[in-house]
Amino acid sequence: MTEAFERRAAEAMKRRKVPVESDIVIPLPDLTAGGKKVDSVDEPKEAPAEAKEDFFAVMPNEVSEAPEGGDFIIDPSADSSAPGVFTYAGHRLRPVNPVEYAKITAITANPKTRREKGPRRLAALLPPAGPADAPSAAGAGEVVQGTNGTIDLGRLGAQAQDNVRNRDRRAGQEPFLPPRERFDRRRFQLVHNSDNTTGGPNAGVPDYYVYLDPDGRPRTNPDGTEQRYTLADVERLLNPRGPGGRGLAGAGPAMPQGPQAPLIAPQRVPAGVIPDFIWRNLSKGRIERNVPLTFEQGPTMDVILPSKKDQEMFGELVRAHGPHELFLRYMAASEHPEAMQASDWAELGHLLEEFGHRKLLLEEVQTNLTKEDVTFMLVHNPAFASIRFNLKPERAMEVMKTSMSYLFMRGSHDEINAMVLSQRANRDIRESDYYIGLNERVHYHTDKTGIKADDLDWNRLDPKLQKQILKPGLLGWMFHGEKTKRSRATLEHIQTNRASMGYLLAGTVSNDPVLISRIVREAQTGERVPQVGERGVGTAADARTERRHINEELNENALLEQVRNPEFRANFRDLDGRTWDNSTPEAREEAFFADSERDLTQRQTLLGWFSNFLSALFSVRLDRAKQRLATEGAFN
Amino acid sequence: MEHDALELFHTQLQALYEKGDESAAQKLIAEEFPKLPESVQGDILTRMYFKGLQEQNRQAGVVAEIQEKGLEILDTLDVMEQILKSKKK
């Protein structure tokens, strides 16, 4: 019995590369061979060298085809500070170069699953958020038909290449690249050949479009001749993904058909910018992934107008992303058809398509927002510790769903991506066999040591127990394989280490997000105790300056005054270096709020509930300031 | 009106943040949050919700790594304990 056990133990030790030395004292395993040692809690600790590849990017030569259904995802909220590095649900994928990136066929969950079942596809593969109309620079036109979708590899390659270029540019290795041009549909001007109707000398020459540069003159070729575009050219430039568009039939004014039909057809929203599929809930908690976006009704004006809610939401979309007066022109067109020009119909078609798209994604997110989620947030986020008794989850959920309706309409594609994909990724994690199995194993072990993980709550924990969970040096020992006194184990040490490990593991499966975030933070940064006010405003004078800075930055009246100031406009340059008069309203707004957006990004890197709440508050104020300035037409 | 209420709330909370006074901040939120316009309340809750989701997703990988290593260590400790006990006999 003993002999058999010893043999098994020796084999186990061998597998773990643990040499068995003396009778009494056994060195603990070096858990990360080659990892640096951290011998003292007082010494600065290092973050774990590299996040491991829990999800693997699978190349075509490795696996020809994923055997299971579903698609896969690259999180477009990937680390913007490290272009070229992509993540799935927070897991860093191995760095890939643009060519590799364009060829990724699947991403799988973990080595064991991968060995046993092959790569499991997880969600639709999307490029990281980037310019909607980015031309394909790598593998242009190369398209792969996935199990449940089509992947434009050229777009992926182009985006990845841009990421790498931008990284090089920051590193000073490549000159600044001119930004890729976004064509503005309003600048395409139809040149009508009246000789076709009057039988003049140029009869037979078809109508064409020119593109007006900011100075109002048609763009020319290098030889000075006018650049001319056919309708198909215009469609292609505005929508590289090909024409689409839906009918605009409705009870209101109808888009003229026949000879009077506008020559610019309604444009399809460029796909691949926000998800072009939804997840549909089925019975018994099952879910159908990657359901193509189809509109049971509309989106047409006759579907929108009877519904007050839809009207408001569409109005929000138009205010944020379209010409503000489009709605008014549309209403006026009932009696005066000339109120809507061809370009207005095209714009309306584009906005309706966008509306339908956003609404379906909104419905998915709203459906998946459960009372349990909201309760969890209210109960476990210290920001709401004092109000959770006055704010019922049902009420909070109602308020949130209303808020989402408008956020989804006025938000940028990046913001919508972040909302939809974070919820999908979270669901993926919750339902992942790997995570479920791991949690069950942890529960089993902690239960065995008599620790009740569910009872652990950082804010109610005895300070001694807090120290026990985040025992100084414990995580360093785990990740760096310290060879200190502690690593020479006796029976006594084994008992102590087992208890410490039990508490730490119990902390990771507790219901307290604050405790989990503290453990994660310590594992990542080695910082002992997260401090409130990490941004580190030192003195009272600094604090006053900071407050003044924020209030100046977000004071809507002051911002409005500033935008309207002739001197400000005279000195203004947008992000492409154009003057106010030569810029577009969108580019003016983008440049005007660039500093605030940067500030918001910095704030979002802060940790802790306090700063999270402040960050949310800051973004709400920034959002309101943008709305106010847009409503006032400040950038027109 | 909404702008003024938001600005005041933000300013007060920022001041407490800079002082590091968590409990006062919780008290302020308890008093002032319900007075904010409903649309602002909704926006804050929604942003907190999605931020929380993103944070959970980000943490999932780190937590799994801690758990994997922790379980491995517990297994090793079990084995070592058995060996030590058997050597003592």
All residues of chain A having their beta carbon less than 8 Å from the beta carbon of residue B63 are 508, 516, 519-520
For residue A31, the chain B residue with the least C-alpha distance is: B69
CB nearest A23 (choices: B39, B44, B87): B87
By the 8 A CB rule, do A91 and A130 touch?
no
* Yes or no, beta carbons of A441 and B60 under 8 Å apart: no
- Of B67 and A5, more confident: B67
DSSP annotation string for A117-153: H-PPP-S---PPS--TTPPP-SSTT-EEEETTEEEEH
Q: Which residues contact A453 (CB under 8 A, 6 or more apart)?
A: A442, A443, A446, A505, A506, A507, A509, A510
Rg, C-alpha atoms of chain A: 29
What's the length of chain A? 636
Euclidean distance between CA atoms A129 and A106, whole angstroms:
19
If one compares A58 and B75, the residue with the highest pLDDT of the two is B75
pLDDT digits (tens, 9 = 90+) for A182-223: 666 667 776 666 565 556 666 666 667 778 777 777 887 777
Residue A588: closest CA among A571, A575, A600: A575
Angle at A583 between CA A579 and CA A585, to 5 degrees: 130
Question: In chain A, what is the straight-line distance between the N-terminal and C-terminal CA atoms, in Å?
Answer: 86
Q: Are strands A208-211 and A188-191 parallel, antiparallel or unpaired?
A: antiparallel
Beta bridge partners of A146: A149
Neighbours of A24 (CB within 10 A): 12
By Cβ distance, the residue of A498, A546, A555 closest to B74 is: A498
Q: Does the beta-carbon distance from B22 to A524 stay under 8 Å?
A: no
3-state SS assignment for residue A404: helix
In this complex, which of A54, A516, A618 lies closest to B61 when CB atoms are compared?
Answer: A54
Q: What is the ipTM of this complex?
A: 0.85
Candidates B21, B34, B47; nearest CB to A387? B34
Q: Please, which residues have CB within 8 angstroms of residue A618's CB and are 6 or more apart in sequence?
A: A550, A554, A599, A600, A603, B10
Q: What is the CA radius of gyration of chain B?
A: 24
**A291: nearest Cα among A275, A273, A268:** A275
Residue A156 backbone zone (phi > 0: left; psi -120 to 50: alpha; other: beta): alpha
Instruction: Please answer yes or no on whether B6 and A624 come within 8 Å at the CB atom.
Output: yes
Residues 6+ positions from A227 with CB-CB distance below 8 Å: A210, A211, A218, A219, A220, A221
The full length of chain B comes to: 89
Cα(A427)–Cα(A122) distance, rounded to whole angstroms?
Answer: 11
Beta bridge partners of A226: A220
Q: From B17, which residue of chain A is nearest by alpha-carbon distance? A: A533
Distance between CA atoms of B81 and A26, rounded to whole angstroms? 10
Using a CB-CB cut-off of 8 Å, the residues of chain A touching B82 are 5, 9
**Is-contact A157 A136, C-beta < 8 A?**
yes
User: Which of A88, A386, A448 is best to mutate for the B interface (most B CBs within 10 A)?
Assistant: A386
CA distance A163 to A78: 11
CB atoms within 10 A of CB A73: 23
Residue in B closest to A513 by C-alpha = B56
**Which DSSP state fits A199?**
T
Can you tell me the distance from the alpha carbon of A488 to that of A473, in angstroms, rounded to the nearest whole number? 15
**CB of A612 within 8 Å of any CB in chain B?**
yes
Segments of chain A with pLDDT less than 50: 1-2, 5, 9, 12-111, 113-114, 118-180, 240-273, 482-487, 528-539, 604-607
Of A26, A513, A532, the CB nearest to B22: A532
Residue of A409, A508, A515, A609 best to disrupt the B interface, most CBs of B under 10 A: A508
Distance between CA B19 and CA A543 in Å, rounded? 9
Report d(CA A622, CA A601) in Å as an integer: 12
Cβ contacts below 8 Å, chain A against chain B, sum to 262
Both ends of chain B: CA-CA distance in Å?
Answer: 80
Structure tokens at A544: 């006053």
Alpha-helical (H) ranges within A472-608 are 474-480, 491-508, 513-525, 540-554, 556-564, 566-571, 585-592, 594-604
Closest CA to A359 of A299, A399, A305: A299
Task: Provide CB contacts within 8 A for A239, sequence distance 6+.
Answer: A133, A267, A268, A270
Q: Does residue A240 have a cis bond before it (omega within 30 degrees)?
A: no
Q: Which residue type, as a one-letter code, is found at position A54?
A: D
Around Cβ A574, how many Cβ atoms within 10 Å?
19
- Residue A400 confidence (pLDDT): 92
CB contact residues (below 8 A), chain A span 111-130, against chain B: none
CB A446 within 8 A of CB A455: no
* pLDDT single digits (tens) A503-541: 888 888 887 777 787 777 777 666 544 443 444 434 455
pLDDT value at position A438?
85
Q: Is A384 on the interface with B (CB under 8 A)?
A: yes
Both tokens of A460, joined, read 């109610």
**Rounded-to-integer distance, Cα A146 and Cα A277, Å:** 13
Nearest CA in chain B to A444: B71
Among candidates A59, A310, A341, A54, which has minimal Cα distance to A190?
Answer: A341
In DSSP terms, B80 is beta-bridged to: none
Compute the distance between CA of residue A390 and CA of residue B9 in angstroms, rounded to an integer: 19
pLDDT tens digits for range B1-45: 577 888 888 888 888 877 777 778 888 888 888 888 888 899 999
Q: What are phi and psi of A531, to 5 degrees?
A: -95, 145
- pLDDT (0 to 100) of residue A88: 43
Q: Is residue A29 less than 8 Å (CB to CB) from chain B?
A: yes
Alpha-helical (H) ranges within A213-275 are 231-238
Cβ within 8 Å, pair A501-B70: yes
Residues of A in contact with B13 (CB under 8 A): 613-614, 617
Chain A stretch 509-538, residues whose beta carbon is closer than 8 A to a beta carbon of chain B: 509, 513, 516-517, 519-520, 523-524, 531-533, 535, 537
Within 10 angstroms of residue A549's Cβ, the number of other Cβ atoms is 11
Q: Are A378 and A393 in contact (CB under 8 A)?
A: yes
Q: Give A42's contacts (C-beta < 8 A, 6+ positions apart).
A: none
Under a CB-based contact definition with an 8 Å cutoff, are residues A141 and A154 in contact? yes
Of A373, A523, A556, the CB nearest to B66: A523
Per the listing, tokens 């058909």 go with: A257
* Residue-level pLDDT at A61: 40
- The C-alpha atoms of residue B37 and residue B14 are separated, in whole angstroms, by 20
Here the tokens at position A451 are: 């620790």
- A16 interaction partners in chain B (CB closer than 8 Å): 72, 76
Q: Report d(CA A404, CA A407) in Å as an integer.
A: 5
Residue A309 has a CB neighbour count (10 Å cut-off) of 10
- What is the 3-class SS of A338-383, one letter each residue? HHCCHHHHHHHHHHHHHHHHHHHHHHHHHHHCCHHHHHHHHHHCHH
Is the CB of A403 less than 8 angstroms away from the CB of B34? no
